[in-house]
Structure 1
Amino acid sequence: MTEKKKTSKLTLGALILMIFTSVFGFTNIPRAFYLMGYASIFWYVLAAVTFFIPYAFMLGEMGAAFGEAKGGIYSWMERAVNPKFAFVGTFMWFASYIIWMVNVGNGIWIPLSNAIFGVDKTQSWSIFGLTNGVQTLGILAIIWIIVITFVTSKGLDKIKKITSIGGSAITLINVLLFLGGLLILVLNKGVMAQPITTHAFFQSPNQSYTSMIQVFSFVVFAIFAYGGLEVVGGLVDETENAKVNFPKGLAISAIVIAVGYAIGIFMMGTFTNWDFVFKNGGGFAKATGSNATVTLGNVAYIAMNNMGYQLGLAMHLSEHVAIQVGIWLSRYMGISMFLALTGAFFTLIFSPLKTIIEGTPAQLWPKSFAKKNAHNMPVNAMKVQAAIVIVIIAFVAFGGKSAAKFFDILTAMTNVSMTLPYMFVAYAFFGFKKDDSIEKPFTIYKGKTFYKFCVCMVMFTVGFANVFTVIQPAIDGNLSQTIWSIAGPAFFTVVALVMFNRYEKKMNLK
């Protein structure tokens, strides 16, 4: 029985589902349509061509070459460049996922509320006599982190089961989007809810996204929609026949995700008239009695509610029944998003930590961090990670306005830190390709000029997105956010360098 546990590996299908769950965000489809309409397709495809697909192929090549390495992107950058460079990039990347866990730990209850009630009621929830919705969500988030950490510590098999459910749920809602949109289109005799014109694919119906500066901010949004692929870098050694399946899984996932986004956005137009649904106080709000202001947080639920409503009308059901169909579809959207976020959480609470603990020099960390339990999990490090996340959640939930402001600062600090490591990894690909001593069993970039062009293209795309992320708040009058966006990467870099310099001194003393 023990031997079976040791040899349990991720199959190609399970790996693809794990990548899909970690990267593909269904909410990015209705959000993109809300911000830019059909024009978002161009920018999503551009982001896929200039960043996501070439970056995935780089990860595929390095993942296949370093198939036995347990440290994921750290191991790759260490070999291709040097250990200090690798640690700074990996530490910055890891820190951003700590804040991601705080954000999602609090936000995951909104889709659950939609699943139960058909609307977001989290602000009115109360447990243990707490009257403040923010504090209630904080308590729920703390319990959530404890449960997720406990279940994940029981091994990869548990994670595979959860991510498979999450991946299947989000796959099904995409199928519903495609088939539902197609059915509505047929029932409406081929008439698109949002008219198709040439300028519609280049000009946003949203008046807030018409200037070049506003459009550039959407490019940043499109690149962020493809984030998270490097997380699975730490799972190369957990993948069955990794030298073949890992790059194949990355390649298949990258193409499916890019195409899925483009088709999904187009299908939104089959049942969504932008003015009718997204103009606050517009036709949809009046027809359904909804007074909710459309935001990036609730737009996905409003969009799917409208899909059910339009399907009911296309089937000539009564107005009341059509509204109920919309509510139930919104509920299904809620449970699907809850399951998908749960699947992503199980992957992200383990994989980044595994990458940074197992891949970096052991002397950087307390000895107890490297200790594994019977399920081959670094349980002590997972407990410390959980404690850090819980402390931040508790401080934000119970610390009043100053704590909320502190969290806004933390979020601003990690916005750039989350994507800068893409540039670190892309730059490391230069060294990887130049080093002939590295065996490369999987090669997509065969010509020297081609791989250099692709690396420069990825670095420019991500660099542009980050520069614009930094300067946009200042342009909008929020100079403090710009300052904190710069301070974040600088702070994480200093912390990483201090840790690494201490490690180097410690090794020299021996």
Structure 2
Amino acid sequence: MKENNAKKMSLISLILMIFTSVFGFTNIPRSFYLMGYGAIPWYIISAVLFFIPYAFMMAEYGAAFKDEKGGIFSWMKRSVGLKYAFIGTFMWYASYVVWMVNISSSIWIVISTAVFGEDLTSRLHLFGLNSTQTLGLLGVCLITLITFTATKGLEKITKVTSIGGLAVTLLNLVLLFGSLLVLALNGGEFAQPIVANSFTASPNPAYGTPMMVASFMVFSIFAFGGIEAVGGLVDKTQNAEKTFPKGVTIAAIIIAVGYALGIFLFGIFTNWSAILSDPSVHMGNVAYVMMQNLGYQVGIALNLSEPVAISVGLWMSRYMGISMVLALVGAFFALCYSPLKQLIEGTPDEMWPEKVKVIKGGMPVNAMWYQCGIVAVFIVMISFGGEGASAFFSKLILMTNVAMTIPYLFLAVAFPFFKGKTEIDKPFEIYKTHRGAKIATFFIVASVGFANISTIIAPAVGGDLPSTLWMIGGPVFFTIIALAIYNRYEKVMEAKKKVKMA
């Protein structure tokens, strides 16, 4: 017993594992851009109402189904039923399709920053197209190239992710020491002053209404994404009954404080009106703009000449660009086949036509090309919608945030059913009573539902109906596809049943 325990994770190891799985650097500058210091209370609310109770749910699921191979599909199937599980799993897969739509176009900002030190995508005009349409065209080319490469089974290329991940992690230290240096050299003065309503109001005019402020919650919930991985850590933790809840709670506090501290640090050297009110700044490039500004402000605080300070800023944003390119390219190669493969192999064989199930070199090659076509159509429809870069990237990121949080609802709603199934062995339980499980489910569904509804409705209230329609249209489209696949499965099974009876 002592040997096994020695191989398991300690409290510190568990906290570090959760932190690295969840904490995302780019969430901080985007939050500051949207809400300024007003983003901080939303991170605290999301940690309490969503992250902690949801992480405990994933832990219970993971412990109960540690021998199941189907992942969340098996969890929901055993808890609720096949149809519910398939639709929930398909929506989980669809969230990665929307992520690919987003990254296919936005990665060009990252590449531009890595090469030139700044976002020059607004100057791109191929074949007489405007910059947004050009980015859409480049996005289609990228998803085609990555799909072609990945179908050849070049999985080793994903190793660049670990290098990029380390470089992005170091950005946190660059932000910490750089901003503290600026603060010390500027006599403790913040570029973005902290006033009475700093934590309740946003300096961003677009977030001036209560509805828009409330819609920010989807960003703070999305920033806690990645906790599904927590489900598989219970049986790898020392004294899980005591260590795990303590580790999750401490990790949640550290992550929430980390985001809050990061937002404060950006306020040290970034004045919202002076830097972020520029029309060329948008959700897609704001992180690079702010890191470039950090380098520039460090140079000015050190009394370097203007040209040298500008050069420091360009190298700062270039470093971030290179880090993100490495991380995103590796993630893209992995995510263009991994969720799809898990969906096909984790669900019943009869769900899929023979062409979809073709596996070559470990890759679902035909399915990957169908996926590529869907991503390309979405990119073209959004990029040729006649809007500027700011609206384009805002729409992509909002769609991604909404899509990525919908699977949380499916897993949370299934949890009381899971707790009610006495035939399922539950070796690890935090929610000791069925009532406790229902209360936790209520808070998660209420917080995620409120965040998504606010996010979806807010653009329409502000006169931007297309953004609302896109955020509704994506989930509706994938739900229709999921129902069509399931109906086909039912017909196949019915036909098999009749053959057996004949």
2:80 corresponding residue in structure 1: 81
1:7 corresponding residue in structure 2: none
Say whether the 8 Å CA contact 1:21–1:340 is kept in structure 2: no
Report the Cα offset of residue 502 of structure 1. 2.2
Aligned residues: 479
* CA RMSD in angstroms, aligned pairs only: 3.9
Structure 2 distance, partners of 1:449, 1:58, is 14
Report the Cα offset of residue 84 of structure 1. 0.6
Report the Cα offset of residue 184 of structure 1. 2.1
Report the Cα offset of residue 15 of structure 1. 11
Distance 1:490 1:192, change over 3 A: closer
Distance 1:427 1:141, change over 3 A: same
Structure 1 residue matching 2:269: 3-state secondary structure: coil
Distance 1:43 1:311, change over 3 A: same
Distance 1:483 1:388, change over 3 A: closer
1:69 corresponding residue in structure 2: 68
| Corresponding position: 1:98 with 2:84 | no
| Corresponding position: 1:477 with 2:452 | no
Counterpart of 1:450, as a letter, is: G
1:266 corresponding residue in structure 2: 264
1:244 corresponding residue in structure 2: 236
- Counterparts of 1:38-77 in structure 2 under 5 Å? 38-77=37-76
Deviates most, 497-506 or 443-452: 443-452
Say whether the 8 Å CA contact 1:22–1:347 is kept in structure 2: no
Distance 1:480 1:147, change over 3 A: closer
- Counterparts of 1:343-354 in structure 2 under 5 Å? 343-354=330-341
2:479 corresponding residue in structure 1: 493
Report the Cα offset of residue 80 of structure 1. 0.7
Structure 2 distance, partners of 1:307, 1:148, is 33
Report the Cα offset of residue 119 of structure 1. 1.9
| Corresponding position: 1:445 with 2:431 | yes
Say whether the 8 Å CA contact 1:162–1:346 is kept in structure 2: no
Report the Cα offset of residue 366 of structure 1. 2.0
Deviates most, 172-181 or 158-167: 158-167
Distance 1:345 1:413, change over 3 A: closer
1:90-118 Cα distance to aligned partner (Å, 9 max, x none):
22332232232122111101111011112
Say whether the 8 Å CA contact 1:74–1:86 is kept in structure 2: yes
TM-score, structure 2 as length reference: 0.81
Counterpart of 1:216, as a letter, is: A
Deviates most, 60-69 or 72-81: 60-69
Report the Cα offset of residue 453 of structure 1. 1.8
1:194-225 Cα distance to aligned partner (Å, 9 max, x none):
33445323333334434322311222332233
1:296-346 Cα distance to aligned partner (Å, 9 max, x none):
233222211221121112222222222221121121122222223224323
Say whether the 8 Å CA contact 2:420–2:434 is kept in structure 1: no
Deviates most, 115-124 or 436-445: 436-445
Structure 2 distance, partners of 1:157, 1:63, is 27
Say whether the 8 Å CA contact 1:93–1:421 is kept in structure 2: yes
Structure 1 distance, partners of 2:57, 2:348, is 24
- Residue in structure 1 matching 2:320, options 333, 338, 344: 333
Report the Cα offset of residue 428 of structure 1. 0.8
2:5 corresponding residue in structure 1: none
Distance 1:27 1:126, change over 3 A: same
1:423-457 Cα distance to aligned partner (Å, 9 max, x none):
11101111222223223344333344433222110
Deviates most, 147-156 or 136-145: 147-156
Structure 2 distance, partners of 1:15, 1:208, is 39
Structure 1 residue matching 2:303: 3-state secondary structure: coil
TM-score, structure 1 as length reference: 0.80
1:177 corresponding residue in structure 2: 175
Report the Cα offset of residue 159 of structure 1. 6.5
The percent of aligned pairs where both chains have the same amino acid is 54
| Corresponding position: 1:378 with 2:364 | yes
Structure 1: unaligned runs, 5 residues or longer: 1-10, 281-291
Distance 1:81 1:442, change over 3 A: same
| Corresponding position: 1:312 with 2:311 | no
Structure 2 residue matching 1:108: 3-state secondary structure: helix
1:192 corresponding residue in structure 2: 190
Structure 1 residue matching 2:183: 3-state secondary structure: helix
| Corresponding position: 1:120 with 2:119 | yes
Deviates most, 141-150 or 434-443: 141-150
Report the Cα offset of residue 387 of structure 1. 4.0
2:408 corresponding residue in structure 1: 422
Counterpart of 1:340, as a letter, is: A
- Counterparts of 1:266-305 in structure 2 under 5 Å? 266-280=264-278, 293-305=280-292
Deviates most, 67-76 or 379-388: 379-388
Report the Cα offset of residue 458 of structure 1. 0.4
1:215 corresponding residue in structure 2: 213
Report the Cα offset of residue 59 of structure 1. 1.8
Say whether the 8 Å CA contact 1:187–1:315 is kept in structure 2: yes
Structure 2 distance, partners of 1:114, 1:96, is 26
Say whether the 8 Å CA contact 1:118–1:328 is kept in structure 2: yes
Structure 1 distance, partners of 2:400, 2:193, is 39
Say whether the 8 Å CA contact 2:101–2:396 is kept in structure 1: no
Structure 2 residue matching 1:37: 3-state secondary structure: helix
Structure 2 distance, partners of 1:320, 1:268, is 23
- Residue in structure 1 matching 2:422, options 418, 421, 436: 436
Structure 2 residue matching 1:91: 3-state secondary structure: helix
Say whether the 8 Å CA contact 1:126–1:136 is kept in structure 2: yes
Structure 2 distance, partners of 1:71, 1:174, is 35
Structure 1 distance, partners of 2:56, 2:333, is 25
Structure 1 distance, partners of 2:185, 2:489, is 67
